[in-house]
Amino acid sequence: MAQTEDALRTLAHNVRTARNRAGLSLDEFGRRAKVSKGALVALEKAQGNPNFATLVRLADTLGVSVSALMEGPSEGRVRVVSADTVMPLWAGEMGSEARLMLTTSGPAPVEVWRWNLEPGEEYPSHPHQAGVVETLSVTTGQMTLIADGTEHPIKAGQTASFDGDVPHTYRGSGTDTCHLIMTVHIPPGPTQGPSA
């Protein structure tokens, strides 16, 4: 429980700091992110519990990575993260899950995710800000990427890359669990216009 409270305090601080740095009022931030002002006020007081889709919208609106909103200060030059120490940010009803392992530093950060997709289960994602590029590297099993309405099968040993500013869905395919590493390449600088 204390770990969850610490994570909420870190999230609250990081959201408030990034919003202030972007020069956004709560009203404008809420409008761009499509999140109510009340929910934002609660979040910035460490009283909210946003879901994964809301975290993505907040990060996109602020022009930062999801993990930039969730991580505390860096502890050194090398970070080693074990999957079993990272809570899933999304868990599907059939056992699928997504874990944000880490985000690189610098002006154009890259998020590194570990996904498990069960056959038939899918995660739909809204379009990200312009300039976001995703890659999917399937290590075992197979999946289907649906980008802008077109299906693209991806199997073990294959990697796909696409512009993330279109509607996209990840779906487990075949008969076994699909394991993949996803990277999200975020363009430098905060977003100037409304979130997609």
Residue with tokens 């993949």: 180
pLDDT score at 196: 32
Nearest to 62 by CA among 30, 102, 22, 34: 22
Q: What percent of the chain has pLDDT over 70?
A: 91
Q: Residue 46 has what pLDDT?
A: 82
Show the tokens assigned to 83. 């999957």
Coil/strand/helix, residue 110? strand
pTM, full prediction: 0.66
Residue 175 has pLDDT above 80, yes or no: yes
Q: What pLDDT is attached to residue 72?
A: 65
- Of 33-37, 148-152, 173-177, 187-191, which range is least confident? 187-191
Please determine, for residue 54, whether its predicted confidence score (pLDDT) is greater than 90: no
Q: Which residue has the higher pLDDT, 75 or 37?
A: 37
Mean pLDDT of 53-69: 80
pLDDT attached to residue 194: 34
Q: Where are the alpha helices (DSSP H) in 34-176?
A: 37-44, 52-62, 66-70
Q: Where are the alpha helices (DSSP H) in 47-184?
A: 52-62, 66-70
